[in-house]
Structure 1
Amino acid sequence: MSSNQEIPRGDLVEIPECPHCQKPVPLCICDSIEPVDSKVELLILQHPQEQDRALGTARVAARHFENAQVRVGLSWPSLSKILGRTVDPVRWAILYLGSAKVSDYDTDLDILAIDRKGQAEVNQKALLRDIEGVILLDGTWSQAKALWWRNAWMLKCQRVILGPAAPSLYGKLRKEPRKDGLSTIEAAGMVLSALQKRPQIAEALNASFERMLARYREVQSEIPELAPKPKPKRDWRRRGKKK
């Protein structure tokens, strides 16, 4: 759902991209994506500075569903404006971790509904049973936070957090600041599966994610432009020197 690593747009401009997933063509797996039925809608709000076309998963996740879309921007007046129809935001769940961790609560649930004060909701099953759609925030942790604070209407939605049993499949390819920091496609699979009690949804999305990562590892050595740029090393000899 989030990351701490971004690739500048200029790195991949010479490589043609898929018009559907917008990935560089060598990394596209659209031909292997199988449609997945879901009664719950999926809306992915992507921060405009989330530009990791190589390892990003938002559009790959959305490609699985007929009732899914990705919108790019910083703020929207309401959920109804985004969807183009009148909806009740109370019937929509939004995944935003913030400082909350499922491990801090007395629960064995993988997905937990919390209120505005960060307290666990009393009637979890009843609240989550009536969810019509799920909103995911796509970007780095700071970008997700910016989207959360710039859109006050999100507070009307049912906030949920996740407690995955294992860390993201990204592994060393992309470092997450927390164990529960999943890729967008993993988060989508986990939430939609939990809400509909259909583990095959997560299985399908995770399988696509694994294929995407395998494709990346295959072509990374052949196309250096796909590799994230290393951070410049800090010159500790200059530490403490006066300018």
Structure 2
Amino acid sequence: MQFNGASMARNLCAQCHYPSSHCVCKYVIAVENTITVWILRHPHELSQAKSTTPLLQLALKRMNVCTGESPEDFLAVQSILDQGVAVVYPSKQANAIEQLSEQRGTIKHIILLDGTWSKVHRLWQLNPWLHALPSLTFAQPPASEYRIRKANRDDSLSTLEATNYCLAQLEGLSTQPLKQLLAGFVQEQLKNMPAHVRQRYSS
């Protein structure tokens, strides 16, 4: 996450690192997840102020972010591939995550790809080592509540929402803390938008 301008940099919250006018600290509830989350973030997301990956970093106990495109950028996660790792991606071989509740405990790490659909597809294609992992998909994904960033597909979820759904399905975590954080983030973003811009997201 990056914000332009020296004055903006001076006014960042010391805890959440968002501009003070957009501070989300009051919405953060620590989540004691046992499954480690790995986010493979496309570099394009670094400049997206509406990215939800920084929110996950504020809340999740076990969380890692690797930014890049090529396999060399993701050596850290490749070093633990023998430790019960699954990747969230709708490949042809993917299993519906809703059907894996009886296998709780066998998956120790989940990998999610962060970016637009085109960027996520690029990450998948450039990293064939991901193809050898068990892949997970959503048969009945929840409706997205992340209305301030447009998506190309109706069934799209933000990275936070996808992670939240995974942790709820695989280890039975409550979805409420991350939902509250996302709702608070959206609220802070909306209240700081000009009225004519805010109107676009009112429906």
Question: Are residue 212 (structure 1) and residue 188 (structure 2) matched?
Answer: no
Match of 2:160, SS state, is helix
Select 2:108's aligned residue among 107, 118, 132.
Answer: 132
Q: Which has the higher helix share?
A: 2
Measured after TM superposition, the shift of residue 27 of structure 1 is: 2.1
Question: Are residue 193 (structure 1) and residue 168 (structure 2) matched?
Answer: yes
Matches within 5 A, 1:21-36: 23-36=18-31
Question: Are residue 55 (structure 1) and residue 28 (structure 2) matched?
Answer: no
Give the Cα separation in 2 of the matches to 1:193 and 1:138: 19
Question: Are residue 82 (structure 1) and residue 76 (structure 2) matched?
Answer: yes
Match of 1:170, SS state, is coil
Question: Are residue 96 (structure 1) and residue 89 (structure 2) matched?
Answer: yes
* C-alpha distance after superposition, 1:180-220 (max 9, x if no partner): 2100111110001100022x1x2111110000000001111
TM-score with structure 2 length normalisation? 0.79
Evaluate the alpha carbon distance shift between residue 125 and residue 60 of structure 1 in structure 2; reply closer, same or farther with a 3 A threshold: closer
Give the Cα separation in 1 of the matches to 2:47 and 2:116: 10
Mark the runs of 5 or more structure 1 residues left unpaired by the alignment.
1-8, 101-113, 231-243
Report the residue type matching 1:219 in the other structure.
N
Report the residue type matching 1:133 in the other structure.
H
Measured after TM superposition, the shift of residue 86 of structure 1 is: 4.0
Alignment size in residue pairs:
194
Report the residue type matching 2:118 in the other structure.
S
Would the aligned equivalents of 2:87 and 2:130 in 1 still touch at CA under 8 Å? Answer: yes
Measured after TM superposition, the shift of residue 63 of structure 1 is: 1.8
- Other-structure match for 1:159: 135
Give the Cα separation in 1 of the matches to 2:96 and 2:27: 39
- Other-structure match for 2:35: 40
Give the Cα separation in 2 of the matches to 1:120 and 1:209: 25
Evaluate the alpha carbon distance shift between residue 55 and residue 211 of structure 1 in structure 2; reply closer, same or farther with a 3 A threshold: same
Mark the runs of 5 or more structure 2 residues left unpaired by the alignment.
none
Measured after TM superposition, the shift of residue 75 of structure 1 is: 1.8
Evaluate the alpha carbon distance shift between residue 20 and residue 95 of structure 1 in structure 2; reply closer, same or farther with a 3 A threshold: farther
What percentage of residue pairs aligned between the two structures are identical?
24
Match of 2:59, SS state, is coil
- Other-structure match for 1:146: 122
Report the residue type matching 1:72 in the other structure.
T
* C-alpha distance after superposition, 1:18-59 (max 9, x if no partner): 576554442231353121111100011110012454311011
Give the Cα separation in 2 of the matches to 1:165 and 1:136: 15
Question: Are residue 176 (structure 1) and residue 151 (structure 2) matched?
Answer: yes
Evaluate the alpha carbon distance shift between residue 192 and residue 119 of structure 1 in structure 2; reply closer, same or farther with a 3 A threshold: closer
* C-alpha distance after superposition, 1:126-169 (max 9, x if no partner): 66641111111111111001111111111122111124454211
Q: CA RMSD in A?
A: 3.2
